[in-house]
Amino acid sequence: MSEDFETESDITKALGSEGLFVVPSGVEKILSYNNTNELVKEIISSVDSGETIDEDTVSSLYEQIDKETDDNSEETASEKEEPSTVNTSSPQKQSAEGDIISPEQAYNKIINIKKDKKDARSVINRKDTLDERYPEIYDTVFNREIPDIKPRLDCPTEYEITGDITGRSRSKGDFEDFKSLFGDRHDKMINLLSQRTGSLYKVRDIHKKRHAGETITVAGLVWSKFVSKNDNYFVDLEDPRSNELMRIGWVVDENDRQIKEMFEEIIEDEVIAVRGTLADDGGIIWGDDEVRRGRPPIMFPDVPRKRGKNTPNTPVQAALISDVHVGGEDFYPTYWNQFVDWVRTNPKVKYIFIAGDLVEGIGVYPDQDEELDILDIHDQYAMTGLMFEQFPDDVQIFASVGNHDTVRLAEPQPTLDDKFTKYFPDNVEFVGNPANINVNGVDVLMYHGMSINSIAEVVPGLDAEEPIPIMELMLKKRHLAPIYGKNVRLAPEEEDYLVIEDTPDVLHSGHVHKYGQGEYNGVKIVNTATWLGQTSFQKSKGIVPDVGYWSVLDLSTRDITEKVVEKEEGDE
Ligand code: D5M
Ligand code: FE
Ligand code: ZN
C-alpha cells in the first residue's frame, strides 16, 4: 500500500482499509496542515492509551488543533503553499514535541499500534475459546493434574542462531537465480573438497591449464551419470559458471566393487571430485588407472573428525523433537502430556529443539481435511502456542518449520510469519529450515528432512524408514539436499544455504516419522520421529510411524539418549 499522503483518496483509502477513522473533512486538513505532526501525535497518544478512535474523537482533535493553529498563525489558508512557516512558528510547541516525525512515519506508527492491539485481542479471543471449539484435545491437555515445574539447573542460557535464511531470502524466482544458486553450490563445494583433496581443477580450467596424458583431480557438478552397454561407468561434470562439461569414464571389470558402490552413491546435481588421466584428444578423463593404483574413484568433501571443544561443565540438557502435527486427528495428546511433564520435572532440561512440522496444516495432501481435528490453520497454531505455555518459561525453545507449516515449500524455508508466531510464548525462538544454532558452545544443525525420501529413492540400498545412513550421507556430501527434484524443491536463492559449510556437533532431523540416532566422524545424528499416529495417506504408502519419541542431548558430554512415552494397549 502506498502511503504518500498526496491526495485525499490516498489517506481515506489507507486509513479506511485498516479499519481506522475516515473523516473527509479531517483528511483535507491532514493534507493542508503543516503541523500534521501535532495532529498525528495526538492521535497516536490516544491510540497508545488504548482508546479506540471514533469520528467524534478525531473531529474534536481537529477542532482543537485548528484552534491552536489559528492562535499561532494568521495565514492558515496559505499554509499549504508554504509549509515551513508554522512548523517553526511556535518554539514552545516544538520543544514539547520532541522528535519530529513525518506524517508517513506517524501513519505507520498508528497502523502498527492498532494492528498490534487488534492482534493481541484476537490472540486472546482465539485462545480463550479453544476449549469450546476443540473440547476433546483441550480437556486432555489442559484440564488435568499437571506436575509442578522444578527450578532449572544453575547454568546460563547462552545461544546464538548462527545460520538461518529467515529475513535474508533474496529469491525472485527467476531462472537466472538458479544459475546463481548452482554456481554458488559449485564454488562452496569446491572450496570444501579442496580442503580434502588438495589442489583441484574446475572443469573450465582443464583445457586451459593441462595437457593430454596428465593425471589431474577435477571437481564439478554432476550433470548426469550412466552405465554404457559394455558396463563401463561415466559421469559428466559441469562447471555451472561456464556451462562447460567434462566426461569422466571408468573401464571396470566385474570384480571392481568399490567403483560400483561409489558410482551408485553419486547424485545428480551434487559436486564431486575425481582423479584420472586426460585422454589424448582431451575429450575425456579416464579414472580407472587411478583406481587400480588404489586411489578412491570418487571423492566427497566429507566432515573432518570432530575434536573436543569447550562444553559446559554442568550437565545441561536439550530435548529434541519434531513433527508435532497439532490439529491432525491422529495427534496423541496423552503422549504429548508425558513429554511436557518430563520437561517440567527435569531441572537439567534448558532447551527444546523442534525440527519442523509443528502443526498438521491444511490441504497438505489429498483429502487431508477428513482427518483433521482442527480445520483452521490459525487455531492449529493457537492450540500449539497454548500447549507450549506449559513448558517452563525459562526453557528456551527453538522451533523450525517443515512441509506442513505455513511457509514456502521450497528450501531453504524462512520461518513462520508473525501472523502465526504471535500465538506462542516469548521463550520460543522461531527459525527457518535449515537452521544452525549454538547452545552453550554446542552447534546443532536442524533440518526438517524433506530430502531424506528423495535420497532414498535414488541411492540403492537406502530406505527412508532408516534415516540415519541417509543423514550420514548428507554429512559426507556436506549438503542437506544434494538432489534437485523428487520431493525436494529448491528456492532459487543467490546462495546455496543447504551446503553444510561448518561441521555441526549434532545434526537433527524429522520428517520421516522414524526414530533413529547414530554418529558419523564424531557428529551426532538424530531423527526424532513424530507425535502423529498413522494417517490414511501414510497407510497407503506403507509408512508405519514411530510415535511419542524424543532425544535428550547432554550438552556437556554430547551424548544422546532415546526416550519414548509409555503406551497403553490398543494405542496406535
Ligand atoms: O511426512 C510423513 C511421512 O510421509 C514421511 O515418511 C515422509 C512421507 N511423505 C511426505 N510427503 C510425501 C510425498 N509427497 N510422497 C511420499 N512420501 C511422503 P510429513 O511431512 O509429516 O507428511
Ligand atoms: Fe511430519
Ligand atoms: Zn514433514
Strands 298-299 and 317-321: unpaired
Separation of 417 CA from ligand 3 center, angstroms?
A: 18
- Best of 487, 530, 539, 546 to mutate for ligand 1, by most ligand atoms within 8 A of CB? 487
Q: Tell me the C-alpha distance between 184 and 205, whole Å.
A: 17
Cα 132 to Cα 377: distance, rounded to the nearest angstrom: 17
Ligand 1 atom having least distance to the Cα of 404: 20
The closest residue, in CA terms, to atom 7 on ligand 1 is 512
Encode 346-404 in three state secondary structure.
CCCEEEEEECCCCECCCCCCCCHHHHECCCCHHHHHHHHHHHHCCCCCCCEEEECCCCC
3-state secondary structure string, 214-271?
CEEEEEEEEEEEEECCCCCEEEEEEECCCCEEEEEEECCCCCCHHHHHHHHHCCCCCE
- Cell numbers representing residue 412 in the block: 531453504
Compute the distance from residue 401 Cα to the ligand 3 centre, in Å: 9
Of residues 415, 388, 394, 261, the one with CA closest to residue 321: 388
Q: Of the ligands numbered here, which is closest to the C-alpha atom of 323?
A: 2
Spatial CB neighbours of 437, under 8 Å, sequence gap ≥ 6: 159, 160, 161, 162, 353, 398, 431, 443, 444, 446
What cell does 293 get?
Answer: 593404483
The residue type found at 303 is V
> What is the grid cell recorded at 152?
532449572
Q: How far is the CA of 566 from the centre of ligand 3 (A)?
A: 24
- Residue 538 CA: nearest ligand 1 atom is 4
Residue having the nearest C-alpha atom to atom 9 of ligand 1:
512
DSSP symbol at 78 = G
Atom of ligand 1 nearest to the CA of 402: 20
List all residues whose CB is within 6 A of at least one atom of ligand 1: 323, 357, 402-404, 453, 464, 487, 511-513, 538, 541, 543
Choosing from 511, 531, 536, 540 the residue with most ligand 1 atoms within 8 A of its CB, the one to mutate for a pocket test is 511
- How close is the Cα of 22 to the center of ligand 2, in Å? 47
Per DSSP bridges, beta strands 506-509 and 523-528 are parallel
d(CA 393, CA 32) in angstroms, rounded, equals: 51
Q: What does the DSSP 8-state code read for residue 174?
A: -
Q: Contact at 8 Å (CB) between 185 and 499?
A: yes
Query: How many CA atoms, within 13 angstroms, populate the side-chain half-sphere of residue 373?
Result: 24
* Ligand 3 centroid, distance to 153 Cα (angstroms): 33
- Ligand 3 center to 404 CA (angstroms): 6
560's enclosing H/E stretch is strand 560-564
CA-487 nearest atom, ligand 1: 14
DSSP H helix total and E strand total for the chain: 19, 19
pTM: 0.83
pLDDT at 208: 85
Which of 516, 572, 79, 96 lies closest to 331, judged by CA?
572
List average pLDDT for each run of 10 residues in the chain, which is 572 residues long. 50 54 48 55 58 57 57 42 33 38 62 75 91 96 98 93 90 79 96 92 89 92 94 95 95 78 91 94 89 88 79 89 97 98 98 98 89 95 98 98 96 95 97 97 96 94 96 97 84 94 96 98 97 93 95 95 92 76
